Every structure is written in C-alpha cells, then in structure tokens.
Structure 1
Amino acid sequence: MSRILSLLLFLVIINSLHAQTELRHAYYLGSDVSLGNYVGLDLDVNYIYSEKYSLRVGYSGHVRKATSLPYDYSAGLVNSMLFGLGQPDDQMENFMITAGKIYKLNQKGTIRMNLSFGLGYTTIREPGNWQRIENSFLVENYTWNYKKYNTVSLILSPRLEFPLTRLFGLYLSPMLQINKDRTYVGVGIGSLWGQLRKRNRTVSNDN
C-alpha cells in the first residue's frame, strides 16, 4: 500500500512541475478527515480532462468503536494511560476508483461540483472470539482476535471543490459506501494540491 501511494504522489509532483496551463489534462492530490458512522482519513489522486471529466484513484481508512464489544469490557489501566491505543475497534479500508463529471458553479471556476461514483475493494476487520479474563486490572479484561474479510463496495462520492488558486483548494465531500456487509455514510473536509484549474489569461490590445 505504501509503495502504491508513494508512486501516486511521485506522479502528481512530477506532473505539477510542468506548465499545464494550455493543456487539457490536470492532476492533483486530495486528502481529508471524514466523519460519519465511522471516522477516518482519505487520500486520492485526481485527473481531470478538459475541465469536464474526472477520474479518481484513492485509499480510505475508517474506524469505529467495536459493535461487538462486551457490555462489561474494560480496557484496563495500561490502555487507559495510552489514550485507548490498542483497544478493539471495527476497521474498514478501501482502495477505490471513481469517475465523474465536473460542473462549474461560477464563472471563474473557483466553485465546482465533481459528481463521481465507482467501485471499491473493501477490507473489513472486526474483533471477535471474546474470552473473559477474571481478576484483570492492569490490562483489558477480555482476550479477542480480529476477523478479516474482503468485499466489493459501490462508492458514491460527490465533491464540492473550491480551487482557491491554481495550485491549492479546499473541498467538502459527502460519501456513501455500500457493500453486502457494511454501509458507510459520512462527510469529509479536506484540501487539494496540484494543478486544479487553468490560469486566467488577460487579453491585451496592441495599437
């Protein structure tokens, strides 16, 4: 996963070093923090053709409090001191690809809607096989292990983008992710970096 993301980052950086003002192709990065029935992070690489059509390849990782947590579960003194690190949670991560259409919402192109949908390869990890430990105080009072399985998700991810400059912007992105096992509903707030839009050209008249 880290090699794939490193390669994507490298490609975006290389492309953004070239003058793309007169080209039909634009590349940029998006990253956000997302909140919903899970919380998580998203990172993606975006391609826009002719300021009309979009393609997005990305990764998302989300967690939530384990729904199977026993009612009398205690994290213990050690985990409490580590601010909950290592405690069981439900995890869902995706490698996704989406395609869509760009709609400019103002003349300058500083507000636009990127309507996109596609598919994701989803990995779900959830704790199970809970076994209670008696007289436990320092550590959690249950042993458990993660169950892991994979599925395919339908991704609906419209994005309201604000390219504040040619190279930097912000966005708001609701997301619906549906598969046969779990559904994620949330919204992300993030930043955009790269070649976001063309430079405004001024026309001069020579007398």
Structure 2
Amino acid sequence: MPQNDIAHHIEALIFSSIQSISIQEIVFALNSVFNEEFPEKLIHQEIKAIEEKYNKKDMVMELVSLNNGYQFLTKKHYHETVNQLQLHRSKKKLSQAAMETLAIIAYRQPITKLEIEQIRGVNSDYSVQRLLEKELISIDGKAETPGRPILYRTSGLFMDYFGLNNLSQLPQLKDISKEENAIGEPLE
C-alpha cells in the first residue's frame, strides 16, 4: 500500500472516532483490513505528518492528543462559534446536581455513592444514574468496606469531553476560588 494511502486511512479513523483513538486501535484496524503488520513507529510518523497538515492557518481543525489517543478538534479561534451551535442544540444538559456529582467523582475517585451523598448532603441516585447513561463516569469495582458498595470514577469520555490527558490537569481549588466567595476580611 502506498504510504500516502496509509495516512488517509489513519486520518479517516481519527475523524470517524467519537472519542480519542489510540495508536493501538489504529494499528489493530489497519492490520485487520490490510492483513499486514503496521509498526507503531510508522503510525506515529504518519500522525506527525497529519498534525503538521492540520496546523496550517487555513485549517479549522487540529489533531490533538487526548487521553492517550488522538482526536480532531476545532481550533480555539472557532470555539465561540461552535459553542453557540452546541448550546443551541443541547437540550439534555447536565443539571447543577449532576455537575456537582461529576466534580466530586473527578476529584475524589474512586468514590462510593454514599461518600458522594455525604459531601453533597442530598441523595445522588438520579445524578449518578444520568452520568452513567451519558458515559461520563464508569463503575470501578467494589469497595472493601462492609456491604461492598460500588466505586465510581470518571471515564475516558469525561477526559475527551473536558480536553484532558490526565487527571492532574483538573483545575486545582486554589486556581478557581474567587474572592467574592470568601467570607470575612483577608489576613495580612
């Protein structure tokens, strides 16, 4: 197969993937279709060439490394325009309760539903169920405590959705706390 054709197949795989696609998934797909052994080194080289192609000013998308894989995303210059369309189309937004639950899971994972409810102070059955349905969280086994409650953690889709490579990229509380949320006078 001509090398240019490999790049087109890789580009098609990344473009058609809803979530980020890993090098291993690309190799598997190519090996399955062409009955050849494609080395990961070749795939890395082709991905580098695709990245360079989409880094040009006249392209509206870019190839981004997310969650140990690759995904095409709109360049930041166009985010506001695309965001308006997404806001217009999104009828199934996450509720405030679901966002709170998701934040708790992201920062404290793995975590049980009881621990989530202790932090929030209210029942979180519905929020946890909605997050599972949207595949933003996943079940991570069972805790070794009495009753063996289910443990929850964020999913790969969560990482893609929020544009993270790993959880250390989550904002730290010191980065998001605002003075307007403070009580009393600041200490000198």
Normalising by structure 2, report the TM-score: 0.25
Normalising by structure 1, report the TM-score: 0.23
Structure with the largest fraction of helix: 2
Answer 1 or 2: higher relative contact order, Cα 8 Å, separation at least 6: 1
